[in-house]
């Protein structure tokens, strides 16, 4: 039997398969090492790290919603130096691609983070998180302005030779403008989409449930919108697009691949089923075998839009 090829390329980064554990849902990998064979994944993206430690937002910070969840963690983390000294120890042992997510409140912070991580061989790529809806950079997110997106991406590009992925926000009028700005600034890929700004109200107290008032909506509820946005981006840029947003099973992932995503990130599903990512890999492989397709790259962008 001919072996099915699941390998995909994100710039110069080769992944054994297109399934990636999304940032903020998989910790630093250590949290899942006893629950799932992490080495089966195409890549792992760490929780976003910042230059200095962050306490994050006050609780309550998470609430379940119909077909999803709302979170306002606020990028809680121990800072880059703690990450290098402690969290990186587990990542070093992995036999899969290791992508570090970085975040900051100023363009210079992103550059300094990228520079600090650039020479660490155990880091294969950097994802630039300019789209966390729980953090404000002035009045808007970096990812809500093409010029700001360009400036951050350019600064990171100047600081590192590693593959860089820019994580886009869906909370914009035209996401393709933002994607093009990232591409023009030297991004190797974009990932889309991050969570949608949303809120829940407690009718008993008449107050927002989250202490932060708003949070990021993720899960199955956002998949159709995320899928549409990924398709729009694919048509406008010449760099790989990594799709995400409500992917809970292999069928969901295949939809993103058919729409042109080169890879997919699994987020909320990890909370529901820690083995979701591995099961999705197997499901994609079965789909290819059942349809007598030898190479996953043959289905990427293979959507038939003719009626």
Active-site positions? 132
Helix, coil or strand: residue 211 = coil
DSSP alpha helix (H) spans, 95-203:
107-117, 146-159, 175-184
Number of H helices, E strands in the chain: 9, 16
Q: Which residues contact 204 (CB under 8 A, 6 or more apart)?
A: none
Widest Cα–Cα separation across the chain: 62
Of 110, 194, 98, 118, nearest in space to 150 by CA: 110
CB 101 within 8 A of CB 167: yes
Helix, coil or strand: residue 191 = strand
Q: Which residues contact 144 (CB under 8 A, 6 or more apart)?
A: 169, 171, 172, 178
Instruction: Give the tokens for residue 159.
Output: 């600081």
Residue 198 falls in which region: left (phi positive, over 0), alpha (psi -120 to 50) or beta: beta
Helix, coil or strand: residue 77 = strand
Helix, coil or strand: residue 131 = coil
CB 165 within 8 A of CB 10: yes
Instruction: Give the tokens for residue 20.
Output: 């990636």
């Amino acid at each position: 039997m001919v072996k099915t090829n699941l390998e995909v390329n994100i710039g110069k980064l080769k992944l054994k398969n297109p399934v990636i554990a999304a940032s903020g849902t998989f910790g630093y990998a250590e949290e899942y090492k006893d629950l799932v064979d992490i080495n089966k994944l195409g890549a792992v993206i760490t929780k976003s790290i910042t230059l200095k430690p962050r306490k994050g937002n006050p609780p309550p910070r998470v609430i379940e919603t119909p077909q999803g969840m709302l979170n306002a963690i606020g990028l809680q983390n121990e800072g880059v130096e703690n990450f290098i000294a402690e969290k990186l120890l587990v990542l070093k042992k992995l036999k899969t691609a290791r992508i570090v997510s970085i975040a900051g409140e100023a363009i210079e912070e992103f550059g300094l983070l990228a520079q600090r991580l650039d020479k660490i061989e155990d880091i294969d790529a950097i994802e630039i998180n300019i789209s966390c809806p729980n953090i404000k950079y002035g009045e808007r997110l970096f990812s809500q302005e093409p010029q700001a997106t360009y400036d951050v991406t350019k600064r990171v590009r100047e600081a590192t030779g590693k593959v860089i992925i820019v994580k886009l926000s869906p909370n914009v009028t035209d996401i393709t403008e933002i994607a093009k700005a990232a591409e023009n600034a030297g991004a190797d890929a974009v990932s889309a989409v991050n969570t949608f700004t949303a809120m829940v109200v407690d009718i008993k107290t008449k107050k927002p449930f989250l202490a932060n008032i708003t949070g990021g909506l993720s899960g199955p509820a956002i998949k159709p919108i995320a899928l549409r946005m990924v398709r729009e981006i694919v048509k406008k840029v010449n760099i790989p697009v990594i799709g995400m947003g409500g992917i809970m099973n292999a069928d969901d992932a295949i939809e993103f691949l058919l729409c042109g995503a080169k890879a997919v990130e699994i987020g909320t599903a990890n909370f529901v089923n820690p083995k979701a990512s591995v099961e999705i890999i197997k499901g994609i492989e079965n789909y290819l075998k059942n349809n007598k397709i030898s190479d996953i790259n043959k289905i990427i962008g293979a959507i038939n839009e003719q009626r």
